Amino acid sequence: MRAQRRTREAGANVIEAALVLPLLLLILGGVVDLGRSYHTYIVMLNAAREGARYAVTSPGDTSGIQAKVMIEASDSGVDLSTAVITVNNQGQGNPVRVTVQFDFPLLMGGIIGYPTISLQTSAAFRVF
């Protein structure tokens, strides 16, 4: 009698685990994607700042500003080769704004229906 009860309880535990495990894996994947996207956002923000800092000394060098952004991001392990880097320079005495927009690929994108999310950040410094 006792052995039969243990067998039923073990079967119930397996069924409970089979029902809960996919949900736990989905939550874990979401947490990993959230961490990766936050890291990428911080790297993009630092890269935009570095580009804007360079723009203070060379405000007319748009390709150099974009290159600084790309180098700063790649030094931190983020590939922004598909990112859109916009430089808005309004001249002497006005701020120069560097904007970085990137479609971040999600690991869980196929499951949740959103393969990418759009991340955008910008930084501005005044040109003297």
DSSP-assigned states of every residue in 7-25: HHHHHHHHHHHHHHHHHHH
List, for the chain, all residue ranges whose pLDDT scores fall below the cut of 70: 1-8
Cα(70)–Cα(92) distance, integer angstroms: 25
The reported pLDDT for the residue numbered 42 is: 97
Secondary element (H or E) of residue 45: helix 2-57
- Give this prediction's pTM: 0.83
Q: pLDDT (tens digit, 9 = 90+) per residue, 1-29?
A: 555 666 667 778 888 888 999 999 999 99
